[in-house]
Structure 1
Amino acid sequence: MPIPTSKSELLGAITDRFAKLDRALDAVPAELADEKTMEGHAKGTFMSPNNLVSYLIGWNVLVLKWLEHDRNGETVIFPEVGYKWNQLGELAQKFYRDYSEHSFDENRDQLARVKDRLIAEISERTDDELYGSPWHGKWTKGRMIQFNSSSPYENARGRIRKWLKQKTL
């Protein structure tokens, strides 16, 4: 799928890639959802399918936070307060912990809800706001949203499919 360059393309990418991810997650047996046998986001770590869903929730919530701060005229701290771009492995571990109390099904429901909130936020913006000028470095707001929503959905789908094959499921 090409990189989105408009609001409609961004919304389409998020919707399409989420639907494909959701179908892949349907194939994860409940009894294996918390098994940490999938390569993690930090070198030398392992995660479970539930951790992967937690990671996606964390990034989507973070994007919503960025958009809220931007809308309110507040400084947006990228990627997150206390983290630098070279500390994304540590940030992933934080996301795993943030949602570790929830079951796989609960986290999947939460991911769907936060994705819907993200779609609503994007829908309120114009093409020009999303793609008309840089927002963080050389990246537009639309590209930053895509980097942290539809692209990770696609990556996560690939990880789940690979893990399912390894499990012969």
Structure 2
Amino acid sequence: MRAYADKAELKNEIDRSFEKYIAEFDDIPEALKDTRAADVDRTPAENLAYQVGWTTLVLKWEDDERRGMDVKTPSERFKWNQLGELYQWFTDTYAHLSLAELKARLTENVSRIDAMMDSMSEEELFQPHRRKWADDATKTAVWAVYKFIHVNTVAPFGTFRTKIRKWKKSAM
């Protein structure tokens, strides 16, 4: 997994990869948001719904811990061995929205993640055992908060950008 020198570098990478990812949806007509394409596992709406879902969870984990709540990862309704069901829940919850609404929600979530990181010290972000939700999310690995942010922003923005480009070549 990629390491970052500091908070500013992580934020810059999130923002850079997000701008490239979200721009891929600019030329997709609303009428095609639910269209399936060969060799692509998600429609454009499902692609965005997945990202909205995970970024919403990251924000919820931090918000709940700050309020003194017992955080359940990945969520109150799903365990880590139920990711398929969680992904379907993301689709059921968000994919009915328009592409514009999905893009707006994801843009807001990325802004909120930036603000969340701004509210944390470098130690809280990059050192393990600074958030109970991060400690409890993994049973064998020790992850700092930044790793959860990375795997739910930078990493999928790149991977899913490739998928949406492949979808465009096949469906449009």
Residues 94-150 of structure 1 show CA distances to partners (whole Å, capped at 9, x for unaligned) of 011111331111111111112111111111111100112243341101111111122
Unaligned runs of 5+ in 1: 41-46
Unaligned runs of 5+ in 2: none
Match of 1:16 in 2: 16
For the residues of structure 1 that align with 2:51 and 2:27, how far apart are their CA atoms? 18
For the residues of structure 1 that align with 2:122 and 2:145, how far apart are their CA atoms? 10
C-alpha deviation, 1:73, in angstroms: 2.8
Mapping for residues 1-169 of structure 1, pairs under 5 Å: 2-37=2-37, 39-40=40-41, 47-134=42-129, 135-136=134-135, 137=138, 138-167=142-171, 169=172
Percent identity of equivalent pairs: 32
C-alpha deviation, 1:75, in angstroms: 2.1
TM-score by length of 1: 0.86
C-alpha deviation, 1:62, in angstroms: 0.5
Do the aligned partners of 1:4 and 1:13 also contact (CA within 8 Å) in 2?
no
TM-score by length of 2: 0.85
For the residues of structure 1 that align with 2:71 and 2:152, how far apart are their CA atoms? 15
Pick the structure with more strand per residue: 1
2:6 aligned partner, one-letter code = S
Residues 59-79 of structure 1 show CA distances to partners (whole Å, capped at 9, x for unaligned) of 111000001122223222111
C-alpha deviation, 1:36, in angstroms: 2.9
In structure 2, the residue corresponding to 1:69 is in which secondary structure? helix
Do the aligned partners of 1:5 and 1:131 also contact (CA within 8 Å) in 2?
no
1:154 aligned partner, one-letter code = G
